[in-house]
């Protein structure tokens, strides 16, 4: 394995023999910031992690780092990345990512993963809105595994949940509960949500997208992870899982319980490694991928 097609890459040799490679990949002017986590020996699998967007990516960032490191320790190569228009990746002409640009970025990251691992992706992981991106990527490849962590089943619903969380946070801080939302995002062009500029191009590109529609009809192994205060799987997730099982897909569900909502950003810093919920989530994903590798 070599550094792949990326430029300006930084390599970190790990004490256990693995490597972490970070830097910018893709064509000039459209580069995405990506980090690869490679095991000490030849990879037994290759996984692309499609992240969440905006504040959700920030909330889940450390968990994604720990998850990909755990995958490398189990022998699986992985790549996580940041969409253009977000994080350290190149900006976009209108500044706002769309479903099309996110799908393109996933494709660039997947090519880099294949170069590094020496084998094509064997599974995809999607977090929140990233689940739609991951589903789109695997749709044409029957049998390829998909892990969805707290997935957005519908783009329109994801946007409603984002605005609801924004209002809740504003109320919690005793501020005006989003006067901008009185007018539509289409009229405003963009608004602020947890310090991120959410734009109409993003909202309009995902509002008709659904996890079911992106995934297609081909049965495949699916791990669906809910992160919630509730003790039971939400009705919409349970019904989605049942429909896919009826279609012949082996769907496994996991409910990771925690004392606060998944999108909540605590006032005090917490050590993610020490949170039982994080450990449970990582163990569930790593175990599922190990089972799928044996089954295939």
Nearest to 127 by CA among 81, 71, 177: 81
pLDDT at site 3: 47
pLDDT digits (tens, 9 = 90+) for 160-191: 877 765 555 554 455 444 444 435 566 666 66
Return the sign of the alpha-carbon dihedral for residues 283, 287, 288, 289.
positive
pLDDT digits (tens, 9 = 90+) for 14-46: 888 899 999 999 999 999 999 999 999 999 999
Nearest to 288 by CA among 71, 142, 131: 71
pLDDT at site 295: 62
Helix (H, G, I), strand (E, B) or coil at 1: coil
pLDDT at site 2: 42
Nearest to 24 by CA among 82, 77, 107, 67: 82
pLDDT at site 288: 96
pLDDT digits (tens, 9 = 90+) for 87-139: 899 999 888 899 999 999 999 999 999 999 999 999 999 999 999 999 999 99
pLDDT at site 213: 95
pLDDT at site 259: 64
Q: If residue 148 lies in a helix (H) or strand (E), which one and from where to where?
A: strand 145-149
Q: Where are the domains of the chain?
A: 7-153+211-295
Q: If residue 213 lies in a helix (H) or strand (E), which one and from where to where?
A: helix 211-215
Say what the pTM is.
0.87
pLDDT digits (tens, 9 = 90+) for 184-211: 566 666 666 656 677 778 888 999 999 9
Burial of residue 30 (CB within 10 Å: 0-12, 13-18, 19+) is middle
* 59 vs 290: which has the higher pLDDT: 290
DSSP 91: P
34 touches 16 (CB < 8 A): no
In CATH, 7-153+211-295 is 3.40.50.1820: yes
pLDDT digits (tens, 9 = 90+) for 237-268: 999 999 999 999 999 999 998 766 555 555 55
């Amino acid at each position: 394995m070599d550094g792949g097609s990326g430029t300006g890459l930084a390599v970190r040799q790990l004490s256990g023999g693995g490597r972490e490679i970070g830097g910018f990949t893709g064509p000039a002017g459209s580069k995405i910031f990506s980090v690869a986590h490679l095991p000490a020996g030849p990879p037994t699998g290759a996984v692309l992690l499609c992240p969440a967007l905006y504040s959700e990516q920030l909330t889940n960032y450390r968990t994604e780092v720990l998850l990909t490191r755990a995958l490398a320790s189990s022998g699986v190569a992985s790549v996580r990345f940041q969409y253009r228009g977000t994080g350290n990746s190149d900006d976009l002409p209108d500044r706002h990512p769309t479903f099309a640009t996110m799908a393109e970025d996933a494709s660039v990251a997947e090519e880099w993963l294949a170069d590094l691992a020496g084998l094509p992706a064997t599974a995809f992981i999607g977090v929140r809105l990233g689940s739609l991106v991951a589903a789109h990527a695997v749709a044409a490849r029957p049998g390829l595994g998909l892990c969805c962590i707290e997935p957005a089943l519908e783009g329109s619903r994801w946007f409603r949940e984002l605005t609801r969380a924004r209002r809740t946070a504003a109320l919690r801080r005793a501020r005006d509960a989003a006067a901008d939302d009185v007018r539509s995002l289409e009229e405003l062009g963009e608004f602020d949500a947890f310090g991120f500029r959410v734009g109409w191009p993003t909202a309009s590109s995902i509002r008709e997208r659904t996890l079911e529609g992106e995934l297609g009809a081909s049965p495949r192994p699916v791990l669906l992870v809910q992160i919630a205060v509730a003790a039971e799987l939400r009705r919409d997730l349970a019904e989605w899982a049942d429909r896919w099982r009826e279609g012949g897909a082996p769907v496994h569900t996991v409910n990771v319980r925690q004392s606060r909502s998944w999108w909540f950003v605590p006032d005090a810093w917490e050590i993610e490694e020490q949170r039982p919920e994080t450990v449970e989530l990582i163990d569930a994903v790593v175990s599922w991928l190990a089972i799928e590798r044996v089954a295939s």
